[in-house]
Amino acid sequence: MAAVADADADDRIARGLAGGDERCLAAAYQRWGRLVHTLATRALGDAREAEDVTQQVFVAAWRGRANFRPERGTLPAWLTGITRRRIADTLTARTRRTELTASLGASLEHEDRMDEEPERVLDRMVVTEELSRLPRVQRDVLELAYFADLTQTQIADRTGIPLGTVKSHARRGLRRMRHSLELAGVRAGR
């Protein structure tokens, strides 16, 4: 009898979410947020990244609710599909970040150092290293802003992260890098 009640509750949540009921989004998060987080943690091996993916999944579910058809499948299955796509996006971004860092390092090695003071080359290498130490989401936001030359609005659109959160990640990342670089003795404007 409890299984029937759970199935009825799941169906009400699914139909309510599809219909735009924010309470059903909250109920879906309460009911399946742990599932999404567990899948992301296992795939990514990083609890922070898993938290970001979990948030992105439920934001995507809310934004894409018009595409969800409860008669075609269950809400947990739909959320799992979104989770898998977000995990794949995260892994792709991780690979791009690694390639970008390697490419930047290689270009620094091949640069004509006669045109640039050794201190500036060293500073750039230190900045690149500090960027790699940031939490993944802060690093991604800053790399998209500075290396891909995207605006914060474009970053929000591309990643699915709310604009205010993008701004917060950028601000915290820059603050953290500034603090680390100051401790390392690197000064801006050398």
pTM comes to 0.54
82 and 150 within one domain: no
Query: Domain with 171 in it: what CATH number?
Result: 1.10.10.10
Highest average pLDDT, of 26-35, 92-101, 102-111, 115-124, comes from 26-35
Asked if 117 and 71 sit in the same domain, the reply is no
144: pLDDT confidence band, cut at 50, 70 and 90? Answer: confident
Question: Total domain count for the chain?
Answer: 2
Is there a domain that residue 134 lies in? yes
**φ and ψ at residue 149, rounded to 5 degrees:** 55, 45
In a domain, 101, yes or no: no
130 occurs within a structural domain? yes
Q: Token pair of 186, please?
A: 């690197």
| Structural domain includes residue 103 | no
Start-to-end CA distance of the chain, whole Å, equals 72
Least confident of 52-56, 111-115, 136-140, 173-177: 111-115
Residue 17's domain is classified under what CATH number? 1.10.1740.10
**CA separation for the pair 150, 136 (Å, rounded):** 17
Taking all residues of the chain, what is their mean pLDDT, rounded to a whole number? 83
Name the more confident of 27 and 158: 27
Q: Are residues 67 and 9 in the same domain?
A: yes
DSSP 8-state symbol, 134? S
**At residue 157, does pLDDT exceed 60?**
yes
Question: Residue 53 in contact with residue 88, Cβ under 8 Å?
Answer: no
Looking at the structure, do residues 81 and 115 belong to the same domain, yes or no? no
Tell me, yes or no, whether 21 and 72 share the same domain: yes
Same domain for 117 and 82: no
Q: Which burial class, exposed, middle or buried, applies to 179 when counting CB atoms under 10 A from its CB (0-12, 13-18, 19+)?
A: exposed
Do 8 and 70 belong to one domain? yes
Q: What percent of the chain has pLDDT over 70?
A: 79
| 132: containing domain | 111-184
Of 89, 122, 147, the one marking the end of a domain is: 89
The answer to whether residues 126 and 69 belong to one domain is no
Separation between Cα atoms, residue 186 and residue 13, nearest integer Å = 53
- Please tell me whether residue 114 adopts helix, strand or coil conformation: coil
- Domain boundary (89, 121, 146) is at 89
The percentage of the chain sitting over the pLDDT mark of 90, rounded to a whole number, equals 38
69 falls within a domain: yes
Of residues 142 and 80, more confidently modeled: 80
- pLDDT number for residue 109: 54
Residues 67 and 118 in one domain: no
pLDDT reported for residue 74: 92
Whether residue 85 is found in the same domain as residue 19: yes
Sign of CA dihedral 118, 99, 165, 184: negative
CB atoms within 10 A of CB 150: 18
